[in-house]
Structure 1
Amino acid sequence: MTARILIIEDEALVAMEMRFVLEDLGHEVVGTAADAKSALDLVKENDVDLALVDIHLSDGPTGVDLGRELATHMGVTVLYMTANPGMVRDGVEGTLGVLSKPTDEHSMQTAVDYALRRREGRTIEYAPPGLQLFG
């Protein structure tokens, strides 16, 4: 299953590594954004299935509100990827869950696959290890 994915990450090397992994898996990365405004612009310009959202971006800790906006108003499946999972421990309306960073390629692959299957409405018995689901 191929998806159009947006990476929202302010650390260029981390974003580049994520892009390589996702493209190796056959997904299309529509872009990377380091701040909320750039991310919103990319979503408005592209059809995005999944956004991988860091919490602390170049414009501050804007990722939580950005993820909520993307999920509830723009129809994007949102998966947080952050070194600060405690900031979303109570969940964020409309979003799927959080994967702690640093993470490895396999964990990212299984979390993305899970998120895309959920987006399609498929029933999944278990979340992959390392992915904390909301709600």
Structure 2
Amino acid sequence: MTQTMGHANLADKIGQELPYLRRYARALTGNQQTGDTYAAATLEAILADRSLFDSAQSAKVALFKAFNQIWVSSGAPVDHTDGEGDGSPEARAQWRLAGLTKHSREVLLLHAIEGLTIDQVAEVIGASKDEAAELLTIARTEMAKAVTGRILVIEDEAIIAMDIMAIVEQMGHRVTGNARTRDAAIKLARKDPPDMILADIQLADKSSGIDAVAHILKEQGDIPVVFITAFPERLLTGERPEPAFLITKPYSEEQVCSAVSQAMFFASTQTLST
């Protein structure tokens, strides 16, 4: 009975944090399917060896630490090749990623997007607090020099839209405009095709930001997208096509910068400047 309750308690703890592990894994890989594969591998490893999930830690730290062991053991799939490979979106993304300091992206995502303290980040990646802090500083510097391009903002709240546009413009991107509805977003994308889309889920006329993005991608091809939502767990189930990049309202400036920079690394267009 005690063992059964133990399994149930473990499952409950993991279940609460699993959506956020999916978000982290998808951001690292730039792909929903690949990210979810790593998340599934983490769960399988924990089931095979429950000691990987240290109950003395917070559930989130324990789960992310177990994931990191899988991630590192697989070689954190970055193809360290010369040049831009075969010219495919994946090859260009991996080529850019190969130029970043090892483990800096992990630290940035864990801290900026997942909200872990530097102490917790250090525990997850198996480093000292000072080493983790240094990697965070390096990551911020490297991301500031990252790919830039044209960004379409889809947000129905004027104040939030202005804030987001100001953040991405300070990063060196050009905002093509802001749309408050699905139809306006499609029209604006046709007028000035974006390199990336930053979209809210619920729009002014009750239309869907997801529908707007899906229509734009159907017309213009694969464009990196960052979604903003107050309910991230609803888009992190793994049960259907879902975004690889997702930030939560209320957001911080660092979260927006991190998510946009990560998404830009996986941009498929060749019009971006580096």
TM-score by length of 1: 0.80
Aligned to 1:41: 187
Aligned to 1:107: 255
- Equivalent runs, 1:78-89 vs 2, <5 Å: 78-89=225-236
Deviation at 1:78, TM superposition (A): 1.5
Aligned to 2:244: 96
Q: RMSD over aligned Cα, in angstroms?
A: 2.0
Runs of 4+ in 1 over 4 A off after TM superposition: none
Higher strand share: 1
Distance 1:70 1:96 in 2: 17
Aligned to 1:128: none
Aligned to 2:160: 14
Distance 2:155 2:180 in 1: 5
Deviation at 1:3, TM superposition (A): 1.0
Alpha carbons 1:68, 1:93 under 8 Å: kept: no
The 3-state SS of whatever aligns with 1:119 is coil
AA at the equivalent of 1:43: A
Alpha carbons 2:183, 2:212 under 8 Å: kept: no
Alpha carbons 1:55, 1:80 under 8 Å: kept: yes
Deviation at 1:94, TM superposition (A): 7.2
Distance 2:181 2:200 in 1: 10
CA offset digits 1:5-26 (Å, max 9, x no partner): 0110000000000011111111
Distance 1:37 1:87 in 2: 24
Deviation at 1:96, TM superposition (A): 2.7
AA at the equivalent of 2:229: T
CA offset digits 1:9-52 (Å, max 9, x no partner): 00000000001111111100000000000000010001201111
Alpha carbons 1:55, 1:84 under 8 Å: kept: no
Q: 1:29 to 1:54 in 2, by over 3 A?
A: same
CA offset digits 1:81-121 (Å, max 9, x no partner): 11122332236637433111111111110110000001159
Larger CA deviation: 60-69 vs 26-35: 60-69
Alpha carbons 1:71, 1:94 under 8 Å: kept: no
Distance 2:243 2:214 in 1: 6
Distance 1:93 1:74 in 2: 18
| Percent of aligned pairs with the same amino acid | 32
Alpha carbons 1:8, 1:39 under 8 Å: kept: yes
Deviation at 1:61, TM superposition (A): 4.5
How many pairs does the alignment contain? 121
Q: 1:71 to 1:97 in 2, by over 3 A?
A: farther
AA at the equivalent of 1:14: I
Distance 1:104 1:111 in 2: 11
Larger CA deviation: 20-29 vs 78-87: 78-87
The unaligned stretches of length 5 or more in structure 2 are 1-146, 270-274
